[in-house]
Amino acid sequence: MIKLKSPKEIELMRQAGKITAAARALAGEMVIAGATTQKIDKAVRDYIVSEGGKPAFLGYNGFPNSTCISLNNEVIHGIPGSRLLRDGDVVSIDVGVIKNGYVGDCAATFIVGQGTDEARKLVEVTRQSFYEGLKFARAGCRVSDISRAVQAHAEDNGFSVVREYVGHGIGSRMHEDPEVPNYVESPRRGADPRLVAGMTICIEPMINAGAAAIRVLGDGWTVVTNDGKLSAHYENTLLITSGDPEILTVCEAAKI
């Protein structure tokens, strides 16, 4: 069931979203050669706690860390560790925060140094895919309108869209109804709800440089591309209003 948020709940989600966005920005600043993903994870956790929040991912279904940090051919759910970042690495960072019982969730992909032309294009197309979907995050549109826009932009640029993982509703729980796929099934199976003011959702393109096929590694978490090619991830939490959508995972210091 899709839960519409009250003005009080929306304000609480803004507070959670601001911390989440700032944590993502902090993580992005630490994406440099020689840093470890474990160091980034600790800095993000410490920042979230200092702001009176809790890392939403820590312990979620048993996840062992506060952030998901996925490198190169890792799509999502990478587990931070002792690996050193190297020049050219593509680093996707997903952050979630619980504050006053409500959740913010956002992600972005960064490159260590300049990276390759392909990597830079993939990161930018993935980010822009989010904004193409955002154009349809309006009352009266359907979820599939967002999905179609994300898919079209990614595929028009020669990339592929991950099918197995999708965007989602969000609120007092990290994952609520509705699901927000990054592609359109033909014919579409399941619900395709119309968007209504007061809904809060996450649009999160996960885009591969090669084929869409993925697999999960033996750790039970890390999702990688089957063909070993690069992947990128971009996400924000947003509010459906009676006019333009409002991105809730924003902060003054971050323009990501």
Predicted confidence at residue 166, as pLDDT, reads: 98
Asked if residue 253 has pLDDT above 60, the reply is no
- The answer to whether the Cα torsion of 28, 30, 33, 34 is positive or negative is negative
Predicted confidence at residue 68, as pLDDT, reads: 98
Q: Would you identify the CATH topology of the domain 7-247?
A: Creatine Amidinohydrolase (3.90.230)
Asked if residue 51 has pLDDT above 70, the reply is yes
Predicted confidence at residue 188, as pLDDT, reads: 59
Q: What is the pLDDT of residues 89-134, one digit of tens each?
A: 999 999 999 999 999 999 999 999 999 999 999 999 999 999 999 9
Q: For the chain, which residues make up each domain, given as ranges?
A: 7-247
Q: How far does Cα 179 stand from its chain's mean position?
A: 14
Amino acid 3 reads K
Which segments of the chain does DSSP mark as H helices, in order? 7-29, 37-50, 117-134, 143-156
Mean pLDDT of all residues belonging to the chain: 96
Contact 246, 239 (CB under 8 A): yes
Q: How far apart are CA 229 and CA 214, in angstroms?
A: 10
Predicted confidence at residue 185, as pLDDT, reads: 78
Asked if residue 255 has pLDDT above 80, the reply is no
What confidence tier does 11 reach under pLDDT thresholds 50, 70, 90?
very high
Q: What is the pLDDT of residues 18-31, one digit of tens each?
A: 999 999 999 999 99
Q: What is the pLDDT of residues 173-222, one digit of tens each?
A: 999 999 999 999 765 556 799 999 999 999 999 999 999 999 999 999 99
Predicted confidence at residue 256, as pLDDT, reads: 57
Neighbouring C-alpha atoms within 13 Å toward the C-beta of 47? 22
Query: Which residue has 């920005």 as its token pair?
Result: 25
Predicted confidence at residue 251, as pLDDT, reads: 77
